[in-house]
Structure 1
Amino acid sequence: MSVCVCVCVSTMACTLVCLGVVQTEGGKVKGKNQNMGLLHSVDVFKGIPFADVPGRWELPKRHPGWDGVLQAIKYQKRCLQVTLLQLSSQGSEDCLYLNIHVPQGVSRGLPVMVYIFGGAFLLGASNDVPFLGNSLYDGNEMADRGGVIVVSVNYRVGSLGFLSTGDARMPGNYGLWDQHAAISWVKRNIEAFGGNPDNITIFGQSAGAASVNYQMLSPYSKGLFRRAISQCGVALSPWAIQLDPMATTKKVARKVGCRTTNEEEMLLCLKITDPVGITMAAKLNLLLIPVMNLLEFTPVVDGDFIPDHPSRLFNNTADIDYLAGVNSMDGHLFAGVDVPSINQRRKETTAAQVKKLISGLTQQKGAEAIQSVYSMYSANWGSVPQQDMVKKTVTDIETDYLFLVPTQVALQLHAQHARGARTYSYLFDMKTRIPGLPSWVGAMHAEDVQYLFGKPFDKPLIYFPRHRDLSGYMIAYWTNFAKTGDPSRGSKVPTIWPPFTPSRHPYLVINSDITKSSVRYSPRPGDGRYTSRQETLNTWTDLDGSL
């Protein structure tokens, strides 16, 4: 194990000295010790390979190992993907690496938390999102303050990670298999870093949250991890599953010049085509509305890793403690693309625009379905609705359909199938810090991540004390859950978080002012515009037979 010892040069000064060499199944690795304050440090190991360079649309294989000591001191390349602006590609096919953050000064047998990044299954990396000189996903603060080992992993994305024919020829889900390989590596090796291989929690945000849910649902995960956390996404989310994968594969083939009516010839052509070209063929068509239809490279029911529709696989989660939730305005980012006027002070958002959005989301189910949803959300508008109310309603519609309702259904299915496992629900509701947005905007998609990874402590000058309060609460709740399966048991928290059960559906409102009254039951605290939480669920689930 990597060992830190306290060396005292006088009666007043002690320094942590870390030895930093760990034996893994592939060979020895040496990380770097990061000082976190007085007698606090974290051993950081970056760029450890958990699998060999993957073959094109093949499952990951174990790494053959290395001689000598691997200097695990820098992040490795991300998996090949388009850049954020989609003007070029970045990354490499040699990308299956992970990073480990180990707190020092604590005992062996530490709980382990494995983070799966988001990015629409199209973008991202374990060290993604530069944040004032560091990665947003840097696990040092969480490891140090929570007393857990934090692991972040890479996986294939885009066309190289999720292209599929819908059958055995190219079954898909290669990115999910990569995640599984990484978690399996952690299970086999984390004891050497001081971790408990029988107490692993996987957690993720957005596409990473849906991935967490898929890992829970897969029969291949039995006994692999003990707990799971989904932040703003589940496998039931309408953007998280491919329904016609062959159509997407044929579209990619046409883009890269593999034009043939013979499917076998097409697949052979794709196999030998430049991977950069295949990657660039995954670019989003930003003219497609609603924006949820942009996500074409996502998991698929393959009859193997995901043997059936996700809604019918929750029996596989019976022994896994599960915590899941959404941000209060998760849908705002997408609503602003679908209906740009909601962020434009001088432009009106009309009832016709709202109905057009609903029509796109309900997949043209007909006028009656559109009117049903519209009537529910506009019930309290009045004869002359205020524009802020109309614009906020657009965000509520996308939040509910893309995030809230699928998450609530997933929580209900988990609670119904649980055999001793616990279920917890939350709503993250800290007002946005993004400048220039309307005053009514709450917590947008991905705004929770900065607090969970302790950025208000790491970069104190750009945050206020209330942000550090929130960050401390989230780290405590999340790491308590990882340690015990109960977010209220362990480090001190501001209030008890009751479990979600088949008959009672409490959730915790998470912000910088958590009290006993933060435990609620209605869907939109303090809002009261919709007749009931159950009506919202029933309306959307009736329109989507898969929920």
Structure 2
Amino acid sequence: MGGHLSHLKPEQHSNVFVASCGPVRGNLYRHGEKSVDGFLGIPYAKPPIGELRFRKPVMADVWSKPRDCFEYGPRCPSSGMFYEKIDLKNQDVPDEANCLTLNVFRPRWQSKEYIKRPVMVFIHGGGFELCASRDYCDYSLTGTLPLKDVLVVTINYRLGALAFFSTGDETCPGNFGLWDQTLALKWVQKHIASFGGDSNNVTIFGQSAGGVSVDLLSLSPHSRDLFHKFVPMSGSAHVPFAIRTARNQLNVSLEYALNKGFTGSGSIELFEFMKNLPVEKLLERTGFEHSASGMVSFGPNLDGDFFPKPLEELRSEASKKPVMIGMAEHEGLLFAFTDPHFTTADEVLKKKIAAEFKEDVVDNPAKVRQDIFEYYMNFNRESDEKKLVAYTGDSIFNAGVILAAKSLATHGNNVFFYVFGYCNPDGFGPIGGILPFKVPTHCTELRYIVGEGVYSKFEPSETDLKMLEYMTTTFSNFAKYGNPNISGSTKWKSYIVNDNHKHFHITMGGYLSHLEAEPLPDILAASCGPIKGNSYRHGDKTVNGYLGIPYAQPPIGPLRFAKPLPADDWTDTRDCTQYGPRCPPSGFGNEKGLLVLPDVPDEATCLSLNVFVPGWESKEYKDKRPVMVYVHGGGFEVSSSREFCAYSMSSTLPLKDVILVTMNYRLGILGFFTTGDDVCPGNWGLWDQTLALKWVQKHIASFGGDPNNVTLFGQSAGGACVDLLTLSPHSRDLFQKIVPMSGSALCEFAMRPAKLQAGVFDDMLPRLGFTGSGSKEKLEFMRSLSWEKLTGKTGFTYKQSGWMSMTPNYDGDFFPKPLDELRKDASKRIMMTGIAGNEGILFAFTQLSEPHSNYSELLKNWIALDYKQDNMDNLESVRKEIFDYYTKDIPKDEDTMMRRTAEYVGDSLFHTGQLATAESAAKYGDDVWFYKFDYCNPDGFGVVKDALPYVAPTHGIELRYLFGDGIFSKFEPTEEELKMLDRFTTMFANFAKYGNPNETGSSKWEKYDPSRPGRHFRISYPDCEMVDEYCGGNWKFLEEIRKKNKCFQANVYGKKL
């Protein structure tokens, strides 16, 4: 663990601060121009030992001599079954006598808004048995909420047996931890004004068991009037571990005492035994397990004192308050796979259900358990792991949090309900090694509120820091004003009882990702089946979106590594308001983390597409609108259509009066595995794309689209796919115009000969456990593996040339002839194609792991990656020829070599191949419009900027001006960028409509002329222009090198390897 500022040390003040509890000395924490005071380890209660063990706490006496409050107070001793199961290594020593302390962090500057600042009191979690306020780095914490002009108080309270032991009667009623929290709140009411806090504006917030405590404190008449707003996070009074009956808590307490050596009987003897038990005995791990339901042994109980009535009655009586309540998107992930005795997901699911539902909480537990198990096993998720995560989260947290939101709103509280849906997959530390996937789970949000890593040290990316800024603003706004919305926004609306699943989703995304689609009231009677979609409003126009439409049968079982089959039509209304899951990624790019995303892929249901339809009557197209179909990139190994924020995308091309279709297709191993022969020829991702285009031809008319005016466009690997689809006789007649962007069939990464692509998989198979031989054995083995195993990271590398591992191959079926012959055979069409101005920058400095001490070595490493024995004779001579060309007649300083390296990477991967495609298409009679996109906002690169020595328009940058999505970071467009977005979408829409990208009445963009091969249209802002010079002329040199590339020549011209 560790906070994002834990490397810093505060300054200790020599000045004495005169607080009403007594004079104190504290720390000074500096944050730029602002500073925060911290007073740590302030005692709020007398030592809870001797006669005060198992009794309500007593307020600490005030003092007169200065007290040093530089260090956190000790933690309270832990005990119980949850404590026994979680071994917190290297934890500091607890101290029963001195643990009831709190900490005050106050802004040091004079507030412009407040005479007395709002106060936020945080209650830590830990299953009522673990943790302490000292687990949160003080320096990191001061860099969060206190910088938002609020005071923050954090507290310790008794834990485990010392806090919640009960005899079930008046002898020892329990709930001492809640009484501690209550006394701490009384301390705040009595003393916080002397620290500059407003005792009439106190917000309590807590997470997990701390969230439960917060909600319970809002109910008890002893505590509920000591604060004014509250935030239960991932916990509430309604979650199953929140509270037991007094009798059930007595049974747990008795089992615990027997485990510790109790042999007596009756409440008084039991109380005396526990009262005199040394604290060291409590800390011993003895394998204690209780027989009651639930994972937590010691917790609150319905004692008749702290809770004099049932909780719902107490809720109805309590004064009404603003409440912010919510949970992480996948709460169950953290608990589902951390069991050291984990066997299989379905067996663990049975164990967890059995642990939660015993005779003490349900009648006929066997039937209840079976019903729950069958419900989750039959739920619409492909893997048992997902079912386990769903049940674990639902049972421990989700259902109880939703019930609390509903109860709170029913009884008149103003409720703001949220789901936290963001995480950095690199932030899980050692726990990440045992999780099958990394998504927002229990505790993820804490690092963005208090700056503490929880699972591992918090080392925030630029995006993480933006989320921290967002969350601390949201929480402090709620504490200040009772409303979490930011700067006049009303997008986060109060919770409505009758819409109990509607919530505010906190994440990052496109420039309109803060907006929420409205459900369409009408069902669309599409020819594939009736569907329900979304409405996206843009001023006086609306766009209808239908997401996650299946176009293929699940590609599993015998359909894995086979051509896809069309999905069956349906008769019942299908909900198409959410994107379908992504296809599982795999391959070398995935191994290197080319694109790491938190949502969970699904092999069975990933072959879906999305249709965005203008919602107004077209003045230009009376019957059918033009259709644009987009194929995403990702190196054939990663990404999906769901990467693009639906609301943002709906505001771009669809507003130009065209229908937009985006699709998923199989990736990596699942998309391109081949044995190099007829047993498994591969190219499954291309067959998927072909089937999606057939779906468009069959069904798009029922959405108002014209199947005779379809433009296919894609970027990077998606651009290569678009060009390859124009060549194959299986797909080339399914559309009329194409736009390959930053990728084409003549880029060297686009395809391998079948034999060499099979060799890539031969390198991978042993890492997956294959020990057989022969194509049929390989196919059977690969079909036998779970997709999680198949796509898991294995440290895979490959020896073949080229940057991408999983690519299309020259299979003899999808490509029955060499590519140049297929281009010649294909019907003539209109093409718009081009590159970003500096394609190589993105990859040159971020994608190679080979060590290099300078940019000359980096350039050599890239050349060596591109050209190996499989594709080049006279290998060393060719490598030297390329290196000498790119380094001749230039200064050899690092800056020049750095830029020259980026030039080579761009030239070799994209620039040369894209121009060759334009030339080839024009040679065979296609109309070609050739461009270079040469515009960017230097502030739009997000965390990628840290890895780049300089920024310029590079790979992927144009997509934000086509789809409104940030790619590298959230797209927050300037006024100029919005103008570029309008210009670029107009060009694309005009091309789709008319076959000419020029803006109305303009002829500035000239058609491509093969006699002037480098001449292209430079797209920028404010001016666009025709330019003759293309990439410094380097393409001419690389064209000569490509003539020596055996693989390229085999694929394109049919020459033998």
Q: Same fold per TM (> 0.5)?
A: yes
Give the aligned partner of residue 66 of structure 1.
Answer: 63
In the alignment, the residues of structure 2 paired with residue 189 and residue 21 of structure 1 have an alpha-carbon distance, to the nearest angstrom, of 16
**SS of equivalent to 2:397:** helix
**SS of equivalent to 2:144:** helix
In the alignment, the residues of structure 2 paired with residue 525 and residue 161 of structure 1 have an alpha-carbon distance, to the nearest angstrom, of 45
State the Cα distance separating 1:296 from its structure 2 match.
1.1
Amino acid at match of 1:412: K
State the Cα distance separating 1:479 from its structure 2 match.
0.6
The counterpart of 1:141, out of the listed 140, 143, 147, is 143
Closer, same or farther: CA 162–42 of 1 in aligned 2, 3 Å: same
2:135 corresponds to 1:128: yes
Give the aligned partner of residue 108 of structure 2.
Answer: 104
Amino acid at match of 2:496: T
Give the aligned partner of residue 94 of structure 2.
Answer: 90
Closer, same or farther: CA 124–303 of 1 in aligned 2, 3 Å: same
**SS of equivalent to 1:228:** strand
**SS of equivalent to 2:230:** strand
The counterpart of 1:361, out of the listed 356, 361, 371, is 356
Instruction: Compute the TM-score of the two structures, normalised by the length of structure 2.
Output: 0.43
State the Cα distance separating 1:333 from its structure 2 match.
2.4
Q: Work out the number of aligned pairs and report it.
A: 487
Amino acid at match of 2:464: H
Give the aligned partner of residue 545 of structure 1.
Answer: none
Contact residue 124 and residue 131 of structure 2 kept, 8 A: yes
State the Cα distance separating 1:371 from its structure 2 match.
4.6
Amino acid at match of 2:174: G
Amino acid at match of 1:511: T
Give the aligned partner of residue 45 of structure 1.
Answer: 39
2:496 corresponds to 1:501: yes
CA deviation profile, 1:419-475 (whole Å, cap 9, x unmatched) = xx410111112244323255643112111111111359xx99922111111111110
CA deviation profile, 1:33-83 (whole Å, cap 9, x unmatched) = 21111x200011111111111211111111122222112111111112257
Contact residue 479 and residue 487 of structure 1 kept, 8 A: yes
Of 205-214 and 240-249, more deviation after overlay is shown by 240-249
Contact residue 240 and residue 294 of structure 2 kept, 8 A: no
Contact residue 146 and residue 152 of structure 2 kept, 8 A: no
In the alignment, the residues of structure 2 paired with residue 227 and residue 176 of structure 1 have an alpha-carbon distance, to the nearest angstrom, of 18
RMSD over aligned Cα atoms: 3.3
Give the aligned partner of residue 393 of structure 1.
Answer: 387
In the alignment, the residues of structure 1 paired with residue 164 and residue 579 of structure 2 have an alpha-carbon distance, to the nearest angstrom, of 41
Closer, same or farther: CA 254–454 of 1 in aligned 2, 3 Å: closer
Contact residue 32 and residue 43 of structure 1 kept, 8 A: yes
Identity %: 28
Amino acid at match of 1:478: F
Contact residue 106 and residue 147 of structure 1 kept, 8 A: no
**SS of equivalent to 1:90:** coil
Q: 1:216-231 maps to which residues of 2 (within 5 A)?
A: 216-231=218-233
Instruction: Compute the TM-score of the two structures, normalised by the length of structure 1.
Output: 0.80
2:446 corresponds to 1:449: yes
The counterpart of 1:251, out of the listed 235, 255, 259, is 255
Give the aligned partner of residue 327 of structure 1.
Answer: 328
In the alignment, the residues of structure 2 paired with residue 153 and residue 284 of structure 1 have an alpha-carbon distance, to the nearest angstrom, of 29
Give the aligned partner of residue 407 of structure 2.
Answer: 413
In the alignment, the residues of structure 1 paired with residue 77 and residue 36 of structure 2 have an alpha-carbon distance, to the nearest angstrom, of 30
The counterpart of 1:232, out of the listed 231, 234, 238, is 234
State the Cα distance separating 1:489 from its structure 2 match.
4.9
State the Cα distance separating 1:512 from its structure 2 match.
3.0
State the Cα distance separating 1:340 from its structure 2 match.
6.1
Closer, same or farther: CA 316–240 of 1 in aligned 2, 3 Å: same
State the Cα distance separating 1:263 from its structure 2 match.
3.4
The counterpart of 2:514, out of the listed 513, 516, 523, is 516
In the alignment, the residues of structure 1 paired with residue 254 and residue 419 of structure 2 have an alpha-carbon distance, to the nearest angstrom, of 40
Amino acid at match of 1:209: G
Give the aligned partner of residue 422 of structure 1.
Answer: 414
Of 70-79 and 308-317, more deviation after overlay is shown by 308-317
Amino acid at match of 1:392: K
In the alignment, the residues of structure 2 paired with residue 519 and residue 178 of structure 1 have an alpha-carbon distance, to the nearest angstrom, of 45
Which protein shows a greater Rg?
A: 2
Give the aligned partner of residue 76 of structure 2.
Answer: 79
State the Cα distance separating 1:123 from its structure 2 match.
1.0
In the alignment, the residues of structure 2 paired with residue 167 and residue 373 of structure 1 have an alpha-carbon distance, to the nearest angstrom, of 35
Contact residue 142 and residue 148 of structure 1 kept, 8 A: no
In the alignment, the residues of structure 2 paired with residue 174 and residue 349 of structure 1 have an alpha-carbon distance, to the nearest angstrom, of 38
Amino acid at match of 2:121: V
Note the residue ranges of structure 2 that are not aligned, 5 or more in a row: 1-10, 520-574, 582-601, 603-1057
The counterpart of 1:198, out of the listed 191, 197, 200, is 200
**SS of equivalent to 1:254:** helix
State the Cα distance separating 1:527 from its structure 2 match.
6.8
Contact residue 318 and residue 414 of structure 1 kept, 8 A: no
State the Cα distance separating 1:307 from its structure 2 match.
2.0
Amino acid at match of 2:372: V
State the Cα distance separating 1:407 from its structure 2 match.
0.5
Closer, same or farther: CA 106–295 of 1 in aligned 2, 3 Å: same
Compare relative contact order (CA 8 Å, sep 6+) and give the higher one, 1 or 2: 1
Closer, same or farther: CA 53–360 of 1 in aligned 2, 3 Å: closer
In the alignment, the residues of structure 1 paired with residue 417 and residue 186 of structure 2 have an alpha-carbon distance, to the nearest angstrom, of 27
In the alignment, the residues of structure 2 paired with residue 362 and residue 40 of structure 1 have an alpha-carbon distance, to the nearest angstrom, of 52
Amino acid at match of 2:27: K
Of 318-327 and 431-440, more deviation after overlay is shown by 431-440
2:402 corresponds to 1:402: no
In the alignment, the residues of structure 2 paired with residue 467 and residue 104 of structure 1 have an alpha-carbon distance, to the nearest angstrom, of 26
**SS of equivalent to 2:337:** helix
State the Cα distance separating 1:187 from its structure 2 match.
1.2
In the alignment, the residues of structure 2 paired with residue 253 and residue 354 of structure 1 have an alpha-carbon distance, to the nearest angstrom, of 30
State the Cα distance separating 1:238 from its structure 2 match.
0.9
Of 102-111 and 187-196, more deviation after overlay is shown by 102-111
**SS of equivalent to 1:217:** coil
State the Cα distance separating 1:264 from its structure 2 match.
2.1
State the Cα distance separating 1:189 from its structure 2 match.
1.0
Contact residue 110 and residue 148 of structure 1 kept, 8 A: yes
The counterpart of 1:470, out of the listed 457, 467, 491, is 467
Give the aligned partner of residue 211 of structure 1.
Answer: 213
Contact residue 106 and residue 151 of structure 2 kept, 8 A: yes
Amino acid at match of 1:333: L
Contact residue 337 and residue 435 of structure 2 kept, 8 A: no
Closer, same or farther: CA 520–230 of 1 in aligned 2, 3 Å: farther
In the alignment, the residues of structure 2 paired with residue 338 and residue 238 of structure 1 have an alpha-carbon distance, to the nearest angstrom, of 20
In the alignment, the residues of structure 1 paired with residue 476 and residue 492 of structure 2 have an alpha-carbon distance, to the nearest angstrom, of 14
In the alignment, the residues of structure 1 paired with residue 287 and residue 313 of structure 2 have an alpha-carbon distance, to the nearest angstrom, of 30
Closer, same or farther: CA 314–513 of 1 in aligned 2, 3 Å: farther
Closer, same or farther: CA 71–260 of 1 in aligned 2, 3 Å: same
Amino acid at match of 2:203: T
Closer, same or farther: CA 284–207 of 1 in aligned 2, 3 Å: farther
Note the residue ranges of structure 1 that are not aligned, 5 or more in a row: 1-15, 342-346, 530-547
**SS of equivalent to 2:474:** helix
State the Cα distance separating 1:138 from its structure 2 match.
5.0
Contact residue 20 and residue 32 of structure 1 kept, 8 A: no
**SS of equivalent to 1:23:** strand
Closer, same or farther: CA 49–359 of 1 in aligned 2, 3 Å: closer
